[in-house]
Structure 1
Amino acid sequence: MTDDAGAPEYKFRLIVRDSRLADGCTLPDPAGALSALEEFGEDIFFPRPGPPKLCTQQYGGPQVAIVTGSINGHPVSVTFRRTDGCEISRWRAMAPLLGATHGSRGET
C-alpha cells in the first residue's frame, strides 16, 4: 500500500485458516479485515462482468493498494485505487484489509 508516488510502502499480512485468524497477521485490525472479507466475499476480488457502471467522477487521492495471495484456493492479485466514486466505495468496503495508513479508511 502506498499513500503517494515516492511515499513509503506499507506491507501487511492477513493469514486465515479455517475461517480463523492465524499467527503471523501484521494488519493493524486483522479481525476487521476478516469481517470485511466475510461480508463482501471473494466477489470484491473477482468482479463479474456486467453492464457498465455509472461512477461519480471524483478523485479520492493517490493511494494505491495491491492485494495478493489466495482466497478459497483462488489466486488473488487486485489493485485498489481511489480514482472514482466506484473505486472509492470499493476501497472503503475493504479498508480494514488495506491497513491503517492515511487514506485507507476513506479519508482524503
Structure 2
Amino acid sequence: MLRRIALALTASAALLGALPLAAQAHSQPAPSGPVPPPIGVPGLGAGPGLGGAQDRLTVTVRDAGAGDGTYELRCRPGGGDHRDVVGACARLAELAAEGRDPFAPVPRDAMCTMQYGGDATARVEGSWRGRAVDASFARTDGCRIAKWDQLVPVLPSTGS
C-alpha cells in the first residue's frame, strides 16, 4: 500500500514539474509557417532572395497616446512616414532571423494571464517577406500584451 502511494506521489510530482514547461511552450505564439531569413542589412537592404520584393505595411494605432495615427512603413529599402523606420525595419528583420512570425495570431489554446494592458489597439496591413499581412493587436491579456511588446518600435511603446 505504501509503495503504491509513493509511486502515485512520484508520478504526480513529475507531472507537476512538467506543467511550467508546457505553459511556457504556449506562452509564445508558434510561427504559422516558415519565415524567410533576413536579407542584406537588417531590415534595410533589398538584397537577393525575394526578387527585391519590398516590405510595405500600413500601421494604424488607436488609443495608445502619442503613437496614435496611421503610418506607412517600408523596409528593404527603408522608407515611409513611420516615426522610426530604421528601428522598426531592424526589429522585423530580427524577428524573421529568429524564425518568428510577428503577425501570426495568438494560438487559441494559449494560456494567457488575465491582465489588462490598456485600450490601445493596432492593425497592420500590407505585405511582409513576400506574403500578405492583415493583423490586429490589442493589450487585453498577457499573450496579447507580449505580442504587442515584441513589435515595439513597429507599434508604439505604451509605457505599461
TM surpasses 0.5: yes
Q: Deviations over 1:60-98 (max 9, x none)?
A: 001110000001221100001000011111111112112
Aligned match of 1:15 in 54, 74, 79?
A: 74
* Contact kept in structure 2, 1:45 and 1:76, CA below 8 Å: yes
Larger RCO (alpha carbons 8 Å, 6+ apart):
1
TM superposition score normalised by structure 1: 0.75
Whether contact under 8 Å (2:105, 2:135) holds in the other structure is: no
Aligned residues: 94
Conserved 8 A contact 2:106-2:144? no
Letter in 2 for 1:12: Y
Per residue, is there more helix in 1 or in 2? 2
Which of structures 1 and 2 has the bigger CA Rg? 2
1:24-66 Cα offsets, whole Å, 9 max, x none, are: x1111111111210122361113586x7221111000011100
* Percent sequence identity over aligned pairs: 36
Ranges of 4+ aligned residues in structure 1 off by more than 4 Å? none
* Unaligned stretches of 5+ residues in structure 2: 1-60
Match of 2:157 among 93, 105, 108: 105
Q: Is 1:29 aligned to residue 84 of structure 2?
A: yes
The 5 A counterparts of 1:11-90 are 11-17=70-76, 20-22=77-79, 25-41=80-96, 43-47=101-105, 52-90=109-147
